[in-house]
Amino acid sequence: MNNIDLNTLYNEAIWVAKKLFDRGKVSGSSANMSFRYNDKIYITASNTCFGKLTKEDFSIVDLNSNVLNENNPSKEYPMHLSLYNRHTSVNCVIHTHSTFSTYWACKKTIEDKILIPSPTPYLEMKVGNIVFVPYADPGSKELFTKFDESVTDSTSYLLENHGPILGDKNILNAFYKLEELEEAAKNAWLVEHF
């Protein structure tokens, strides 16, 4: 990702955040997103809204959890760091409470083999294996421990009663992956209810 300049990455992240907000995939200040650049993580600061994100709304954190600017990072940044530290190919992480993915996160349990019963092949093709993470309070050390213990070779996770978090090699790919996850979750809900 280092062949792309930091300003371009900021612009892509802001564009993705606005698209997610405008499409109703995030609301208020409940989502968080980060990208990696030169071994630093640029993550949306605490209480920022995807609908009006600017460059000044990012906190900068190193891979050892040291905050490098005046902005407090999203309280859930340890989950982002878990993915970056375990997957060198991951350069962007997005976490939302998007409606249909969160529906399945509330309905499923650790025992379920299929978390989202996708009626089409695209969920598996574009998102891959989705790993279930047992419930712990949002922002809690218990959640971060459970998430870290759940990280496998997958880069797609569903937090019980909470929502999806996923990573990919760049900002746009992470966005496409989240869009596919939410669309598949919506289709699965429609098949179940109609």
Domain at 154, CATH number: 3.40.225.10
Tokens of 102: 């969160």
Active site residue ranges: 76, 122
Pairing of strands 130-133, 156-159: parallel
Residue numbers of the domain that contains 133? 6-193
Q: Does 161 reside within a domain?
A: yes
* DSSP at 56: G
Confirm whether 98 is domain-assigned. yes
Q: Closest Cα partner for 37 from 75, 73, 77, 7?
A: 7
Tens of each residue's pLDDT in the chain, 194 residues: 457 899 999 999 999 999 999 999 999 998 999 999 999 999 999 999 999 999 999 999 999 999 999 999 999 999 999 999 999 999 999 999 999 999 999 999 989 989 999 888 999 999 999 999 999 999 999 999 999 999 999 999 999 999 999 999 999 999 999 999 999 999 999 999 88
Q: Judge whether 1 lies within some domain.
A: no
**Per the domain annotation, does 115 fall within a domain?**
yes
Residue 122 lies in a domain: yes
How far CA 134 is from CA of 106, 110, 111, 149, 194, in Å, comes to 11, 7, 10, 10, 29
Secondary structure (3-state) at 180 = helix
**180 within domain boundaries:** yes
Question: What angle (nearest 5°) sits at the alpha carbon of residue 123, between those of residues 117 and 127?
Answer: 130
Strands (E), 45-112: 58-62, 92-95
pTM for the model: 0.95
Q: How far apart are CA 105 and CA 139, in angstroms?
A: 17
Domain count, the chain: 1
Residue 3: the pLDDT is: 75
The pLDDT value recorded for residue 2 is: 52
